[in-house]
Amino acid sequence: MFPLTATHLRFVCEATTPLRLEIETYRAGQNLRGALGAVMTRAYCAGDADDPAHIATCPVHWLLAANEKPGQERRGYAIVPPLPQDDSPNRVYESGERFEFGITLFGRALKFLPYFVLAVPEMGRLGVGIGRGKFVLKSVWAENPLTRERECLLAENDNLVRTPTLTMTHAEVMRITDCRLPIADCYFPITIDFLTPTRLIEEGDLAQAPAFDVLFARLLKRLDDLAEEYSGGTGRPREEIDTLEHLAARVQLVESHTRWVEVWSGSTRRGKPSPLSGIVGRAVYTAERAVWRAVLPWLLWGQLAQVGKSTVKGNGVMVIAG
């Protein structure tokens, strides 16, 4: 059984001053991640950033910083920012308006949930986005992103944070897979909405079209890496990877309404901007039921875990629809 677990948290916030998160330019995730990193570093990281002993025990370094393999390690969390809305492309939250964003914790990263719950109100106090708009945290929920089922972890006007029980497992993903498949053997379509830039790299080159085989290969690698780093996984057998990728090659792209968006992020660590550009839009794929039965569980995991580069800055958010 695939060992990865994912706990998706939804933070319900209320603006106390006009607040703009650059949602329309797909920089809201970067805004939130930058504020989160700054608060956690100041509040929880008191040691020497170059001391290996400190790095080994510091939750901030474990969650946010590059440690043994800079640029290669998978982070134990991903951010789901507020998403662009067609009816309000230049969204500003006025004082009193509410908004939500999500943070997904993978495997043993769940033990750091209290750090996030404490950091978010401080982010709101200091301000985020253009003009440092301020907000207050109103409530925290655990959510199943595939069914929208929710449980309250921190209620309004309450100080008690409850332990989440709504954690996604492979058994739950398989149950949802079975519910989405038709009974009869047939070809049928599945739609993927790429809601934030999906940045896929194949053999050193950027994929600027939503080819299914490239998307699936990168997704499978991400999931297996997360399972190894955070859930005690031992690696997927090569023959299983080959079988899945062979099946993925039988999935046909039948409609593509995607575009490439250019997005850049400032980087304190690198001292220069880093690219967040990627694919957004909708793609429709078709395949036989037997093919979907094998690959759909991993697509649903992709909706939980996101895919591609810079998921900690809100990239790679996708939704799977029948």
Query: What are the residue boundaries of the structural domains of the chain, listed by start?
Result: 6-154, 170-321
Average pLDDT over residues 73-86: 85
Confidence band for 49, pLDDT divided at 50, 70 and 90? low
pLDDT category of residue 72 using cuts at 50, 70 and 90: low
Q: Is the dihedral of CA 314, 304, 280, 309 positive or negative?
A: positive
Q: What is the pLDDT of residue 208?
A: 86
Three-state SS at 190: strand
Per-residue model confidence (pLDDT) at position 65: 59
**pLDDT band, residue 80 (cuts 50/70/90):** very high
Distance CA 128, CA 32 (A): 7
Instruction: Return d(Cα 195, Cα 316) in angstroms, integer.
Output: 7
Structure tokens at 47: 């040691």
Q: What is the pLDDT of residues 209-224, one digit of tens each?
A: 899 999 999 999 999 9
CATH 3.30.70 fits 6-154, yes or no: yes
Confidence class for position 202, pLDDT limits 50, 70, 90? confident
In this structure, are residues 285 and 300 in contact, taking their beta carbons and an 8 Å threshold?
A: no
Tokens, residue 93: 């939250």
Question: According to the model, what pLDDT value does residue 58 have?
Answer: 75
Q: Name the pLDDT band for 73 (thresholds 50, 70, 90).
A: low
**Closest residue by Cα to residue 211 from 203, 83, 66:** 203
Q: Nearest CA to 117 among 230, 7, 9, 219? A: 9
Residue 55: pLDDT band by 50, 70, 90 thresholds?
A: low
Q: Which residue has the higher pLDDT, 63 or 275?
A: 275
pLDDT given for residue 195 in this prediction: 97
Helix (H, G, I), strand (E, B) or coil at 288: strand
> According to the model, what pLDDT value does residue 185 have?
83
Name the amino acid, one letter, at 322: G
Neighbours of 81 (CB within 10 A): 26
What integer is the mean pLDDT of 98-114? 95
At 169-184, the pLDDT tens digits run: 999 999 999 999 988 8
DSSP-derived letter for residue 209 is: S
- Same fold: 6-154 with 170-321: yes
* pLDDT exceeds 90 at position 103: yes
Class (C level, CATH) for 170-321: alpha beta
Structure confidence at residue 48 (pLDDT): 66
Q: 299 vs 111, which has greater pLDDT?
A: 299
* Region 279-284 average pLDDT: 96
pLDDT tens, position by position, 265-281: 866 555 678 889 999 99
Res. 199: pLDDT tops 90: yes
Give the Cα separation of 300 and 303 in Å (integer). Answer: 5
pLDDT tier at 56, thresholds 50, 70, 90: low
| Average per-residue pLDDT for the chain | 90
